[in-house]
Structure 1
Amino acid sequence: MVLETGRLVLRPWRVEEAVVQRQLWLERDPRVPPHRRVDAAGRPTVADLEEWIRTHPPGSTGLLALERKADGEVVGYCGLVEGTCEGEPELAYELLRRFWGRGYATEAAEAVLEWARSSGYRRVWATVREWNTASRRVLAKLGFVETDRVQPDPLHGDTLVTTRTL
């Protein structure tokens, strides 16, 4: 699957872009649970991520690399994770810190949501940590609304469950 916006191409990851994925892991907020950050042994390594890209061929859902049309630089990812909430897809996105605040997450997510709607999905979910105000703003811009579902986590911050009807 390849999607295009005014400034971005959303496409499957290439093995040589594992370094970008590793940078995303390294830049994650320390409040993110440890299984989503680089561990004390340095895992995942670039080699681990290269292997993951090789062994997980693109499908109709998944996390697509966000490539800027202007210079070909990969700035993060956006896509759908299948069946995480009530059997319906979940929107996920993450950008390298130096590209925050430029509207790329919103732009990419709008393309993914349009693809989801045209593919017959009726609703999409997104989860976000309560402390992640930037992602909460993106989700609000996209029309997601917070539900009454909260996944409590006193150590890493509660996870809010949001939804959007397509």
Structure 2
Amino acid sequence: MTPRLTTARLVLRGLEARDAPAIQEGLSDWEVARWLSAPPWPYGREDADWFIHEAEGQHYAIDAGEGLIGVISVKPDLGYWLRRDHHGRGLMSEAAEAAVQAYFETTQEPLVSGHFEGNAASRRVLTKLGFRDTAPEVTFARPLGQDVTVQRMRLTADDWRASRA
């Protein structure tokens, strides 16, 4: 079961069947999907239903009081997306800080993440959390149907604590 986390503006909670329409809507926006590697394109309701079923206990719904506006996970990597109409307000940084804090409360294992080349917004989220570059990696981006370069990054528990001090 996914623990419930609360921030100043958000609740991070487990995914529920009622989130499927919001997930489908969010991942049907090309400006969101094009920065992700895993979701199919186009993204259908059956994809959202499958994701909720398969992701049980591994992902948080990001809820700003109006239902799901995005998803974040720390297993196996820190990964996330946010509906475009919520970009630019610091919500993902807030959600990611809560998720990373919860992660380091249960383990001292480093956390890895990454961002597509050119995704400056995602890079800002990660660097604010204290992530450091490791190496670029080529991976297949399913929505794009091609390989892309991902800048891999790593966050240790010590770097996390230092970034919060």
Residue 75 (str. 1) matches residue 69 (str. 2): yes
Q: Is the 8 A contact 2:72 2:79 kept in 1?
A: yes
Tell me the equivalent position of 1:36: 39
Q: 1:121 to 1:72 in 2, by over 3 A?
A: farther
Query: For 2:28, what is the secondary structure of its paired residue?
Result: helix
Match of 2:27 among 7, 25, 28: 25
User: Identity across aligned pairs (percent)?
Assistant: 27
Match of 1:161 among 137, 152, 161: 152
Q: Is the 8 A contact 1:63 1:92 kept in 2?
A: no
Query: For 2:154, what is the secondary structure of its paired residue?
Result: strand
Q: 1:121 to 1:24 in 2, by over 3 A?
A: farther
Tell me the equivalent position of 1:152: 138
Tell me the equivalent position of 1:125: 112
Detail structure 1 runs of 4+ shifted over 4 Å in the superposition: 30-35, 153-156
Structure 2 CA distance for aligned equivalents of residues 72 and 158 of structure 1: 35
- C-alpha deviation, 1:37, in angstroms: 3.8
Q: How many residues align?
A: 149
Tell me the equivalent position of 1:114: 101
TM-score by length of structure 2 reads 0.79
Higher strand share: 1
Higher helix share: 2
Q: Give ranges in structure 1 of 5+ residues lacking alignment.
A: 83-89
Residue 8 (str. 1) matches residue 10 (str. 2): yes
